[in-house]
Amino acid sequence: MPRTYLIVPDAEQLVEIAAGLHSNHHELPPAGCSLGIDPTDDWLNAADTYFATHTPLYIEGVPPDGTEDDWYWGTVGDLITSVLIPDNDHLNWLLNKLAALADRSVSAFLGIPLLAKGRSNTTMRWLRVTYAGTMGGVETFQHKIDLGHEGADPDLSEAAQLALAEALATSWQSAFNEYQTNITSPEVKYTEVGVAKIVQTNASDKEGEGGNPEYQNGTQWFAYPLGTEPVGTASTACLPYEVACAVTMLSDHRGASGRGRFYLPPFSASALVATGRFSTTALDNIGTAIGHHFDDIRTDNSFYPVVVSGRRLILNEIKQLLLGAVPDSQRRRRRSQDEARALVWTAT
């Protein structure tokens, strides 16, 4: 039976519960599920602060149809009322824990919120699309987007991944060629598009560590035939290769779990205006190109661009794109270019 561990929600999760962002239910355990305690979890001998971030409690079973991905929440007091009192084992757990938390009032202890996150012990699968190219033939760049469908995760074969990579390469080439005129220098050239299938079943922590994302089938790459690559057409010189335009992707989900970012390669010098920012025309044109590419993805497939939250194990559909007017930087895009030092002074 599926098992989902209860956690003590952090401040961000409490806000999300209050806002009803996850079709949350004030009900623990859900109908058709049972409550259990992990016997391998030595919580009784743990430090007093242990219960602030972790519990050995879990619910076992599948919530009612249509709510498998929802959040179920309650408090320690709710569990005592509905489940714990009739069960001596659970009552002993409660009494022992109360003794361990002697510095906390009973009412405060009973008010501790508990959360069962949807999909916390299930499989999340999505596609990662990488757009790669060169700058001046000496440096490389990459930027990526993720594709998915909440509740119907894409599960492509290697051949299907390669076919998708070719289709996305064609779509991006059409959008880029139409809208980037006089924005990107000919030094910037897209060379290939890759599609990877990623599967994750364990959540990462708030620092992004842990979790178990696994690349299945490897990344399948489609390379543009020589001479057909999307390439800039501006007549002015390219900005330094580490200069980038930041693209922020927003979903309806509040907080860091609902937004993502990628970085376009450098524009041409003509894309800058006197304030040291990218011109409105440049941002509008390249933004339209990305938007049209996203529209193509949605029209031609059963999935769509998403923000992936490895911590929440959820996929959030992208609803808006924002482009940064102030030039950003990606230092790793300046690794191979020779510094080409020039002697300008010698002591006499």
What is the secondary structure of 124-162 as a DSSP string?
A: EEEEEEEEEEEETTTEEEEEEEEEE-TTS-----HHHHH
Q: Note whether residue 341 is domain-resident.
A: no
Question: By three-state DSSP, how is residue 260 classified?
Answer: strand
Q: Note whether residue 79 is domain-resident.
A: yes
Number of Cα atoms under 13 Å in the Cβ half of residue 324: 18
Q: Where a domain ends, among 116, 143, 178?
A: 116
Our measurement of the distance from residue 247's CA atom to the centroid of its chain's CA atoms, rounded to an integer in Å, reads 14
Q: Are residues 71 and 141 in the same domain?
A: no
Q: Given a cut of 90, is residue 305 above it in pLDDT? A: yes
Judge contact between 149 and 304, C-beta under 8 A: yes
- Which of 85-89, 132-136, 189-193, 334-338 shows the lowest per-residue confidence on average (mean pLDDT)? 85-89
Q: Given a cut of 50, is residue 12 above it in pLDDT? A: yes
Q: Given a cut of 90, is residue 323 above it in pLDDT? A: yes
For 197-211, write each residue's pLDDT tens digit: 999 987 776 666 767
Total of domains in the chain: 2
In this prediction, residues 70-84 reach a mean pLDDT of 77
In this prediction, residues 54-58 reach a mean pLDDT of 72
For 227-258, write each residue's pLDDT tens digit: 999 999 999 999 999 999 999 999 987 777 78
Q: DSSP E strands: which ranges in the chain?
A: 3-5, 25-26, 34-37, 57-60, 72-75, 113-116, 124-135, 139-148, 188-200, 214-223, 243-251, 259-264, 304-309, 314-323, 328-329
Q: Are residues 46 and 133 in the same domain?
A: no
User: How many of the other CB atoms lie within 10 Å of CB of 39?
Assistant: 7
Question: By three-state DSSP, how is residue 342 classified?
Answer: coil
Judge contact between 196 and 219, C-beta under 8 A: yes
Q: Note whether residue 90 is domain-resident.
A: yes
Q: Where a domain ends, among 64, 92, 116?
A: 116
Q: Note whether residue 347 is domain-resident.
A: no
Q: Average pLDDT of the chain?
A: 85
Q: Given a cut of 60, is residue 101 above it in pLDDT? A: no
Q: Note whether residue 180 is domain-resident.
A: yes
Q: Are residues 8 and 95 in the same domain?
A: yes
Cβ-based neighbours of 326, under 8 Å, separated by 6 or more: 276, 277, 278
Q: Are residues 91 and 129 in the same domain?
A: no
What pLDDT, on the 0 to 100 scale, is given for residue 57? 79
What pLDDT, on the 0 to 100 scale, is given for residue 121? 43
What pLDDT, on the 0 to 100 scale, is given for residue 220? 98
- Which of 41-50, 178-187, 327-336 shows the lowest per-residue confidence on average (mean pLDDT)? 41-50
Q: Are residues 93 and 210 in the same domain?
A: no
Q: Are residues 94 and 243 in the same domain?
A: no
Q: Given a cut of 70, is residue 42 above it in pLDDT? A: no
In this prediction, residues 186-206 reach a mean pLDDT of 89
Q: Given a cut of 70, is residue 5 above it in pLDDT? A: yes
What pLDDT, on the 0 to 100 scale, is given for residue 120? 45
Encoded amino acid at 30, one letter: P
Q: Are residues 90 and 140 in the same domain?
A: no
Q: Given a cut of 90, is residue 24 above it in pLDDT? A: no
Q: Given a cut of 90, is residue 56 above it in pLDDT? A: no
**Strands 72-75, 113-116: pairing kind:** antiparallel
Q: Are residues 108 and 128 in the same domain?
A: no
17 versus 311: the higher-pLDDT residue is: 17
Q: Given a cut of 90, is residue 126 above it in pLDDT? A: yes
In this prediction, residues 109-120 reach a mean pLDDT of 73
- Please state the pTM of the whole predicted model: 0.68
Q: Are residues 273 and 148 in the same domain?
A: yes
Q: Where a domain ends, among 116, 146, 171?
A: 116
- Which of 5-14, 95-104, 306-315, 319-328 shows the lowest per-residue confidence on average (mean pLDDT)? 95-104
Taking each helix axis as running N to C, give the angle between helix 158-179 and helix 280-300, from 0 to 180 degrees, rounded to the nearest 10: 150
Q: Are residues 80 and 179 in the same domain?
A: no
What is the rounded distance in angstroms from the CA atom of residue 348 to the CA atom of residue 345? Answer: 9
* Strands of 57-60's sheet in order across: 3-5, 57-60, 34-37
In this prediction, residues 212-217 reach a mean pLDDT of 90
Q: Given a cut of 70, is residue 96 above it in pLDDT? A: no
Q: Note whether residue 196 is domain-resident.
A: yes
- Model confidence at 176, pLDDT cuts 50, 70, 90, reads very high
SS (H, E, C) 178-238: HHCCCCCCCCEEEEEEEEEEEEECCCECCCCCECCCEEEEEEEEEECCCCCCCECCCCCCE
Judge contact between 82 and 90, C-beta under 8 A: no
Domain assignment of residue 90, given as a range: 3-116
What pLDDT, on the 0 to 100 scale, is given for residue 90? 60
Q: Given a cut of 90, is residue 145 above it in pLDDT? A: yes
Q: Note whether residue 346 is domain-resident.
A: no
Cβ-based neighbours of 226, under 8 Å, separated by 6 or more: none
Q: For residue 144, which of 162, 131, 127, 135 has the smallest C-alpha distance?
A: 131
Q: Are residues 187 and 283 in the same domain?
A: yes
Number of Cα atoms under 13 Å in the Cβ half of residue 209: 1
What pLDDT, on the 0 to 100 scale, is given for residue 277? 96
Q: Are residues 112 and 132 in the same domain?
A: no
Please give the helix or strand (H or E) that residue 102 lies within, else none. none
Q: Note whether residue 14 is domain-resident.
A: yes
